[in-house]
């Protein structure tokens, strides 16, 4: 994540009591992959059921955090979610962690700051 975005995020929430989200990499990774070419919420929900079954409420919660932290963006005119630059960075980190550490995806937790 770029320093510019970290500074923007820190200034955005400065002085607010906000709990840092802890997101499961096993859920974040397929969301990010699906968002590479842009995807609607309905299509994303359908795709997620194939890889990481998740209720629509939990999917929306994850999307809210990912949008809030500029990992993905939402285009209201097209009604699609798309991965952002920081999202590609996060996806790369997840994939490296899986490859290098041979980590089980269920053990990987992402905290956004």
Q: pLDDT tens track of the chain, all 113 residues?
A: 444 444 444 444 444 445 678 899 999 999 999 999 999 999 999 999 998 889 999 999 999 999 999 999 999 999 999 999 999 999 999 998 888 777 667 778 888 87
Is residue 32, in this structure, part of any structural domain at all?
yes
pLDDT at 74: 97
**CATH number of the structural domain spanning residue 88:** 1.10.10.10
Q: Are 105 and 30 in contact (CB under 8 A)?
A: no
Is residue 39, in this structure, part of any structural domain at all?
yes
Is residue 89, in this structure, part of any structural domain at all?
yes
**Domain around 78:** 23-104
Rounded CA gap, 80 and 66, in Å?
A: 14
pLDDT at 19: 67
Is residue 64, in this structure, part of any structural domain at all?
yes
């Amino acid at each position: 994540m770029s320093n510019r975005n970290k500074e923007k995020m820190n200034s955005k929430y400065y002085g607010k009591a906000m709990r840092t989200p802890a997101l499961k990499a096993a859920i974040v990774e397929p969301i990010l992959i699906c968002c590479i070419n842009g995807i609607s919420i309905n299509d994303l929900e359908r795709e997620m059921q194939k890889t990481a079954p998740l209720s629509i409420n939990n999917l929306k919660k994850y999307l809210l955090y990912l949008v809030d932290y500029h990992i993905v963006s939402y285009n209201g005119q097209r009604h699609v979610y798309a991965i952002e630059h920081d999202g590609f960075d996060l996806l790369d980190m997840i994939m490296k962690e899986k490859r290098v550490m041979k980590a089980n995806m269920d053990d990987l937790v992402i905290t956004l700051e």
